[in-house]
Amino acid sequence: MSYLFTIAFRSAWNRRLTLGLTVLAIALSVALLAGVERLRHAARDTFAQSVSGTDLVIGARGSPLQLMLFAVFRIGEPTGNISWRSFRAVADRPEVAWAIPLSLGDAHHGFPVIGTTAAYFEHFRYGRGSPLVLAGGRRFDQVFEAVLGADVAGRLGEQITLNHGLDDTGLAGHTDKPFTVVGILARTGTPVDRSVHVSLESMAAIHLDWHAGAHLPGLSIPAGQVRKFDLTPTHVSAALIGLRNRADVFRVQRDVQTMRDEALQAVLPGVALGQLWQLTGTLETILRVISMLVLMTASCSMVAVILAGLNERRRELAILRSVGARPRDLFLMLMIESIGLTVVGVLAGLALLAVASTIGAPLLRQQVGLMLHTALPTPGEWRLLLAVIGVGMLAGLVPGLRAYRHALADGLAPRT
């Protein structure tokens, strides 16, 4: 049996250029197929680990998914603001253990700015209940102090300026009121890494001379005088709520959504994420189908190459038959060749995916906050790779049966 591997290897080596292109096609299809699967899991893991221990997300009435995307993942536009009075009414309920207000709407070099309170650093959790940790510096405790996420470029003691609006075009900046970086958070692998954190009082201070999203003409309040004004926030964008007893979640949700003073909604994070996966499920299926079609194309090209090679290898196979090789041996040799090409293509595809992941992971993290891990294939990916090898085995049946039936007759018959 071992001589079949030797013959198959030497025969394949003599046709290395043609078979190399086939291996490349298989490698690209495997990299695409496994890459889609890895991106799918990375997206779900990143979203699922972005917030932990939060029972409800409170915001203005609208789309629950839109509220979740904006408040937690910093994606999209706000559904609207909620008044500070309504936030305090929810936060002061006896069932509520903690409440984190979030005020969004400004940016710094494309990174969202979040106005919040000390409760953010005390109660916000991500992953499996991990708290936020400072890699350097301290939390903000004064107006015009900022704490940066791990991906936001900045150094302790540096002064930064904020821009009004999420697009950060530079046309409407708060350049007259710079912030001092007092802390940098350790990496979390969540949208926190791409955020700038300031106090709610700071958000109110930089907008004292603004109204309806525009700077008031002829009015400019210097940074040194903002403390003379009442910096209590009038509204926030959303709030994260943690309950003392999770059994109360539906009752609190109902009470919030039926408040008479303001139209609010209370969203369960898990339910909102379920809606997101339903929306993206069709896209995931389409990407999988495209990947499978690419794989089938590569498998068909491998069959075509081996079948085309049989015509040139007629005499080789006939000589093997004449020296005692059985039809079964020729069949096994071609199967070994087909499976070997597929395995080499799979390994090359994994290497290609590893290189692409290593190069692309930092870019994905900085641009969209997606944490792409470059670890070994997951069990799901291994199942896909085994399926690819199975497809390669099936692809080898056609040339194998062709050689099994006609090797001797084709090789000894004169060519016409």
Q: Spell out the residues 6+ positions from residue 304 whose beta carbon is closer than 8 angstroms to its own.
A: none
pLDDT of residue 139: 95
- Residue 296: pLDDT band (50, 70, 90) is confident
Q: Spell out the residues 6+ positions from residue 196 whose beta carbon is closer than 8 angstroms to its own.
A: 108, 111, 112, 113, 114, 146, 147, 148, 149, 152, 160, 162
pLDDT of residue 86: 94
pLDDT of residue 276: 79
Q: Per-residue pLDDT for 270 more than 50?
A: yes
Gap between the Cα atoms of 178 and 30, Å rounded: 50
pLDDT of residue 368: 57
pLDDT of residue 214: 61
Q: Average pLDDT, stretch 327-352?
A: 81
Q: Per-residue pLDDT for 315 more than 60?
A: yes
Check residues 86 and 325 and name the one with the higher pLDDT: 86
Q: Per-residue pLDDT for 184 more than 70?
A: yes
For the beta carbon of residue 122, count every other beta carbon within 10 angstroms. 12
pLDDT of residue 400: 66
Check residues 318 and 200 and name the one with the higher pLDDT: 200
Q: Which of 233-247, 261-275, 303-317 holds the top average pLDDT?
A: 233-247
Gap between the Cα atoms of 291 and 225, Å rounded: 61
Helix, strand, or coil here: 180?
Answer: strand
Indicate the range of 176-190, 229-243, 397-411 predicted with least confidence.
397-411
Closest-CA residue to 78 (of 97, 93, 58)? 58
Contact yes or no for 189/236 (Cβ under 8 A): no
Q: Per-residue pLDDT for 416 more than 70?
A: no
pLDDT of residue 97: 95
Q: Average pLDDT, stretch 25-48?
A: 79
End-to-end C-alpha distance for the chain, whole angstroms? 35
The mean of the pLDDT values for the chain is: 80
Q: What is the pLDDT of residues 68-79, one digit of tens each?
A: 888 888 887 777
Q: Per-residue pLDDT for 44 more than 60?
A: yes
Burial class (CB in 10 A: 0-12, 13-18, 19+), 133: exposed
What's the CA angle centered on 236, arms 155 and 232, to 5 degrees?
80
pTM exceeds cut of 0.85: no
Q: Per-residue pLDDT for 27 more than 50?
A: yes
pLDDT of residue 414: 45
Burial class (CB in 10 A: 0-12, 13-18, 19+), 326: exposed
Q: Average pLDDT, stretch 189-197?
A: 89
pLDDT of residue 75: 82
